[in-house]
Structure 1
Amino acid sequence: MTPAELASVVLAAAHAVFEQRGLDRAALPVSTVVERPRNPEHGDYASTLALQLSKKVGVPPRELAAALADELGRAVGVKSVEIAGPGFLNIRLDAAAAGQLARVIVEAGAEYGRSDRLAGEKINLEFVSANPTGPVHIGGVRWAAVGDALSRLLRATGAEVGTEYYFNDAGSQIDRFARSLLAAAKGEQVPEDGYGGAYIAEIATEVQARRPEVRSLDDAAAQEIFRVEGVALMFDEIRASLRDFGVEFDTYFNEKDLHDRGELDLALARLRQQGHLYESEGATWLRTTDFGDDKDRVLRKSNGEWTYFAADCAYYLDKRERGFERVVIMLGADHHGYIGRMKAMSACFGDDPERNLEILIGQLVNLLRDGAPMRMSKRAGTVITLEDLVEAIGVDASRYALARYSSDSPIDIDIELWTKAKNDNPVYKVQYVAARTAGVARNAAEVGLVRGDADAFRPELLDHEKENTLLKALAQFPAVVATAAELREPHRVARYLEEDIAPSYHRFYDDCRVVPRGDEEITDLHRARLWLNDATRTVVANGLFLLGVSAPERM
C-alpha cells in the first residue's frame, strides 16, 4: 500500500464515520495525506484528519479520532490504529500491505514517483542564458544543473514545460567582444574594457580561417565580421559544452529577434495601453514605482536607443503571448536587484506577478583544490568554467554537487571530496546503492533466483524491521518529487537519496540476505527480498535521472 492509497483509505473511513453520525459531509476535504512519523515507534504513518475536521463539525477531536480509528481498523491492510495527543492517528500496516509497495514500484518502473500534481500548468523555464562572449562560467554551470533538474521535476509532476536559453546577441557587451577579437587578430593588446583569455585568440584565428577576406578590410568592416562570426562560434561552443553536460534547451531565443520583429515597439504599445508609460526629458519611462519598484525605469532613451529593460519587457511579453502561464527566470547572485523591477513590469502588463512570474536567484560557487579556491581558468583566463569543473570531478559529480544544495546558498565544491570512492562523497554514496542493487540482481540470476510472477509474490514475508524501514523510505519518493517540484528545490531529491534511501538499503542488505548461500534452497523469502532490492534500484535510478545523473550498474 502506498501513502497515497492509505490516504484514500483514511478519507473513505472519514466518509463512513460522517454518514454513520449524520455529520455534514461537505466539511470533508477532496483529498488528504498521511505522513511518516519522525519516531518509528509511533507507527508507519500518521494522519491529522480528525484534528482538521473536529471544529468544522463540532465534535471533540479525540472523539472523532476514536471513531475514525475504529473504522480504519477494519480496513484491509491496516494492522492497528492508535490515538495520540489531542487526536493524531498513528497507523500501522500489516506486512502484506506494506510489502506490496515493492511490486508497485517494480511494475511502475520509470513512472514511479511521477504524478499529475502540476497538470494543466504551462511553464516557461529560462536558465543559464550566459552572454555569448566567453565560455560558461561556474555560476552559469550551477544554473545548468539546477535548471535542468527542475525541468525534469516539473515534467515528472505533470506540468507542460518549455526550457529556454536567452541568447543576448545585441548590446555593448557584444561590441566589446568584437573589438577584442579584432585586436587579437591584429596582434594588438585587448581593449581595456574587452575580454581576455586564450579563447579570444582561438576564436579570432577561426574567424580568419573561415573568412580570410577579413584581413584586408578596414577596422569597421572587419569588426562587423568578427561580431557575426565570433558570436556564432562562441554560441556553438556554449551549446556544445552544455550538451556534453547533458543539458539541451527546447528554445534558443535571440535578443536580436526582438528588435528585428518589432517586439519592443509592441511591448511599448501594450504598456502604453495599460496606462503605465510617460515621457520625461525626451525619454520614455515605465512607472514601475506604482507596483513597488524603487524607481521608474527608462525604456527608450532620449536619443531613441532602447534600454536593456525594454528588451526584458518585450521578452516577457513574448513568453506570455506564446501561452506560458508562468514564467520562471533563474538569475545569478548579482541580479538580486532585478526582482523588484521585473515583478513591477509584470504588474504593468496587467499580470499577477505572484502567479505569472517567478525569479530564482542562485548564489556563488567556489571550486576548491587543497582547501583553497581556484581562481583562474586554463583557457578563459579570469573565471572557472564548465570545462574546468567537469575536468576536475566529472559530469555526474558536477551535476550532483551543484543540485544537492539549496540554490540560495553559496557552495564550495572540494575536488578531493567529490573524486573520492568513499561514502563521504555524496554522489558516490548514492551511485553505490545503484551499483550494489544491480550487483545483487546479477548474483541472483547466476544462482537461478528470479522474482517470478507478481501473483506469486508474497509481500507478507517482508516483515523484518529493516525491510519495513526501507519500504517506508521508498514510499516517500512520490511525495519528495512533488514537493521538490512545487518548491523549485531539486536538492530535496538528492538529500532524500542520501539520507533516507542509502542508509536504509545498506542496513537491509546487511541484515536481510537476498541471494542464498552455497547450496541453500531458494525460498519465497529470497524472491520477496529480490523484489525489494529491485524496487530500491528503481527509486534510486528514477531519483538520479531527475538530477541528470547516471545510475551505474557497476562501480
Structure 2
Amino acid sequence: MTPAALAELVRNTAVEVLSSKQLDTSVLPEVVTVERPRNPEHGDYATNLAMQVAKKAGVAPRDLATWLAEALTGKDGIDSAEVAGPGFLNLRLAADAQGQIVREVITRAGEYGHGDRYAGLKVNLEFVSANPTGPIHLGGTRWAAVGDALGRVLAAQGAEVTREYYFNDAGAQIDRFVRSLIAAAKGEPTPEDGYGGDYIADIASAVVEAEPGVLEQPADEQHETFRRIGVGLMFDEIKQSLHEFGTDFDVFFHEDSLHTSGAVTKAVEELKESGHVYFSDGAWWLRSTEFGDDKDRVLIKSDGAPAYIAGDVAYLRDKRNRGFDLCIYMLGADHHGYIARLKAAAAAFGDDPDVVEVLIGQLVNLVRDGKPVRMSKRAGTVVTLEDLVEAVGVDAARYSLIRSSVDSAVDIDLDLISKRTNENPVFYVQYAHARLASLQRNAASLGIERGSVEDADLSLLTHEREGDLIRTLGEFPRVVKSAAQLREPHRVARYLEDVASAYHKFYDACRVLQPGDDQASPLTIARLQLCEATRQVLANGLALLGVSAPEQM
C-alpha cells in the first residue's frame, strides 16, 4: 500500500466514523497527511488527522483517534492502529500491503513518481540568461543545473514547461564586449571597462578570419561587424557548453527584438492607458509602489530612451501573450529587487501578481585542498562552467550544484566530488544503482529468472531492513510532488541519498542471491523484485536531475 493509498484509506475510514457518530464530515481535509515517524518503533506511518479536525467536529482528539484506530484495525492492508499521545495515530502495514509499493514501482517503471499536480499548466521557465559577453560563470552554471532539474520535476507533475533563455543582446554591456574585441583584434590594451581573458582574443581572431577586411572598415561599420559576428560566436559557444552540460532550451528570446519590434513602446503605452504610469521630472514612471515595490520605477528616461525595466515589462507581457500561466524567473543573488518590480508589472497589466515567480540563487564557491579556486584558465577573472566540468565531469558537477537549496551559498569541494568513495554523494547514489544492475546480471548468470512481479510473493519481505527500504521507495511520489510545488529539486537529490542508504543497509542484512547452485527460493525472487524496484527509483530520480544512472562503475 502506497502512502497515497493509505492516506485515502484513512480519510474514507474517517468519513465512516464521523458519519456513524452523526458528526460533520466536511471538517475533513481533501487529502489526509500520513508520514513516516522519526522513530520506526512507533509504526510504519503516522497521522495527526484526529488532532487536526476533532475540535471542528466537536469531540476530543484522543476519542476521535481511538474510534479511527478501532475502525482501521482489520482493514485490508492494516496490521495494527494505535493511539499515541494527545491523538496521534500510529499505523503498521501488513507485509502484503507493503509489497504493493514494490509492485507499483515495477509496474509503472519510468513513470513511477510522476503525478498530475500541474496537469494543463503552461509554465515559462527562464534561467541562465547570461549576457553573451563571456563564458558562463559558476552562478550561471548553478542555474543551468538547477533550472533544468526544476523543469524536469515540473514536467513530471504534468506541467507543460518551456525552457527559455533571455538573450541579452542590447545595452551597454554588449558595447563594452564589442570594444574589447576590437581592441584585441588591433593588439591594443583592453578598454578600462572592457572584458579580459583569452576568450576575447580567440573570438576577435575568429571575427577577423570571418571578415578579413573588418579592421579597414569605418568605425561604425566595424563596430557593427564585430557586434554581429562576435556576439553570435560567443552565444554559439554558450549554447554548446550548455548542451554538453545536459541543459537545452526550447526558446532563445532576443532582448533586442523587444525594441526593434516596437513591443517596448506598445507595453509602455498600454500601461499609460491603465493609469499605472505617470509623468514626472521629464520621465515616465511605473507606480510600482502601489504593488509592493519599495519605490516607483522609471520606464522612459528624460532623454526619451527606455530604461532597462521597460524591456522587462515588455518581456513579461510577451510571455503572457504567448499563453503562459506561470512565468518563473531564476535570477542571481544581486537581483532581489526584481521580485517586487516584476510582480508590480504583472499587477499593472491587470494580472494576478502570482503569475510571476522569481527564484534567487546564491553564490557558488569552489574549494580545492581547502583553498578557494578563483581563477579560470580561459576567462581570467571567474571560474566557468567548462572549468568545473573539466575538473569533475558533468554528472558530479550537476549533482553537486542541485543537491543544495538555492537559497544558500554552496561550497563545492572539488577533492570530495572527485572521489570514488561513499563520501562523495553522487558516487554514493550512482554506485547503488550500478550495484543493483550488477545484482540483476548476476542473477541472470545463475539462471535465476525474476519473473513477473505479480507472481512474486512479496508478503515474504518481513525483515526490518526490507520494510525500511520499501517505505523509503513509497515516499518517492511525495518527494517529487513537494520538489515541484516548492521549486526545490534538491529534495530529489537528498531523497536519493536516503534510498541508497536504505538499500546498502538492506543488502548488508539480507542475502539476496543464495550461494552455490541452490534453487532460487520464493524469498530470493521477492528480494530480487525489491532490488529491481530500488534500481528503478534511483534511475527515475537521477533522470529528474539530468544525471546518468550507470550500470557499471
- Deviation of 1:236 (Å): 0.5
Output one character per residue of 1:138-174: Cα deviation in whole Å (capped at 9) or x when no partner: 1100000110111111111112211110000011111
Instruction: Provide the residue aligned with 1:390 in structure 2.
Output: 389
Instruction: Provide the residue aligned with 2:421 in structure 1.
Output: 422
Instruction: Provide the residue aligned with 1:288 in structure 2.
Output: 288
Instruction: Provide the residue aligned with 2:406 in structure 1.
Output: 407
Instruction: State the alpha-carbon separation in 1 of the partners of residues 491 and 476 from structure 2.
Output: 10
In structure 2, what residue type is equivalent to 1:422?
A: T
Instruction: State the alpha-carbon separation in 1 of the partners of residues 281 and 492 from structure 2.
Output: 53
- Deviation of 1:439 (Å): 0.8
Instruction: Provide the residue aligned with 1:252 in structure 2.
Output: 252
Contact 1:78 1:94 in 2 (8 A): yes
Instruction: Provide the residue aligned with 1:533 in structure 2.
Output: 531
Output one character per residue of 1:438-461: Cα deviation in whole Å (capped at 9) or x when no partner: 111111111111221233210110
In structure 2, what residue type is equivalent to 1:504?
A: A
Instruction: State the alpha-carbon separation in 1 of the partners of residues 53 and 361 from structure 2.
Output: 41
Is 1:124 the counterpart of 2:124? The answer is: yes
Instruction: State the alpha-carbon separation in 1 of the partners of residues 494 and 134 from structure 2.
Output: 33
Moved more, 146-155 or 49-58: 49-58
Instruction: Provide the residue aligned with 2:225 in structure 1.
Output: 225
**What is the number of residues matched between the two proteins?**
553
Output one character per residue of 1:275-334: Cα deviation in whole Å (capped at 9) or x when no partner: 111112222111212223222211112222111110011001111111112211111112
Is 1:210 the counterpart of 2:204? The answer is: no
- Deviation of 1:21 (Å): 2.1
- Deviation of 1:428 (Å): 0.6
Is 1:469 the counterpart of 2:468? The answer is: yes
Unaligned runs of 5+ in 1: none
In structure 2, what residue type is equivalent to 1:443?
A: N
Is 1:261 the counterpart of 2:261? The answer is: yes
Contact 2:453 2:529 in 1 (8 A): no
Moved more, 9-18 or 313-322: 9-18
Output one character per residue of 1:194-228: Cα deviation in whole Å (capped at 9) or x when no partner: 11111111111111111123132122211110001
Instruction: Provide the residue aligned with 2:278 in structure 1.
Output: 278
Is 1:517 the counterpart of 2:515? The answer is: yes
1:333 match: secondary structure:
coil
Instruction: State the alpha-carbon separation in 1 of the partners of residues 98 and 243 from structure 2.
Output: 42
- Deviation of 1:482 (Å): 0.7
Q: CA RMSD in A?
A: 1.2
1:492-507 alignment, distance < 5 Å: 492-498=491-497, 500-507=498-505
Instruction: Provide the residue aligned with 2:87 in structure 1.
Output: 87
Instruction: State the alpha-carbon separation in 1 of the partners of residues 315 and 547 from structure 2.
Output: 32
Aligned-residue identity in percent: 60
In structure 2, what residue type is equivalent to 1:350?
A: G
Instruction: State the alpha-carbon separation in 2 of the partners of residues 296 and 171 from structure 1.
Output: 22
Instruction: State the alpha-carbon separation in 2 of the partners of residues 521 and 16 from structure 1.
Output: 48
Output one character per residue of 1:210-266: Cα deviation in whole Å (capped at 9) or x when no partner: 112313212221111000111111110000000000001111100011112111012
Contact 2:50 2:61 in 1 (8 A): yes
Is 1:20 the counterpart of 2:16? The answer is: no
Moved over 3 A (4+): none
Contact 2:277 2:284 in 1 (8 A): yes
In structure 1, what residue type is equivalent to 2:515?
A: R
2:191 match: secondary structure:
coil
1:22-37 alignment, distance < 5 Å: 22-37=22-37
Instruction: State the alpha-carbon separation in 2 of the partners of residues 184 and 523 from structure 1.
Output: 73
Output one character per residue of 1:94-113: Cα deviation in whole Å (capped at 9) or x when no partner: 11111221121011111111
Instruction: State the alpha-carbon separation in 2 of the partners of residues 386 and 82 from structure 1.
Output: 54
Contact 1:393 1:419 in 2 (8 A): yes
Instruction: State the alpha-carbon separation in 2 of the partners of residues 453 and 200 from structure 1.
Output: 60
Instruction: State the alpha-carbon separation in 2 of the partners of residues 109 and 307 from structure 1.
Output: 51
Instruction: State the alpha-carbon separation in 1 of the partners of residues 389 and 532 from structure 2.
Output: 31
In structure 2, what residue type is equivalent to 1:394?
A: G
Contact 1:449 1:515 in 2 (8 A): no
Contact 1:461 1:528 in 2 (8 A): yes
Instruction: State the alpha-carbon separation in 1 of the partners of residues 420 and 30 from structure 2.
Output: 48
Instruction: Provide the residue aligned with 1:70 in structure 2.
Output: 70
State the TM-score, normalized to the length of structure 2. Answer: 0.98
In structure 1, what residue type is equivalent to 2:479?
A: V
Contact 1:164 1:249 in 2 (8 A): yes
Instruction: State the alpha-carbon separation in 1 of the partners of residues 193 and 318 from structure 2.
Output: 32
Output one character per residue of 1:413-470: Cα deviation in whole Å (capped at 9) or x when no partner: 1111010011111111111111111111111111111221233210110001110010
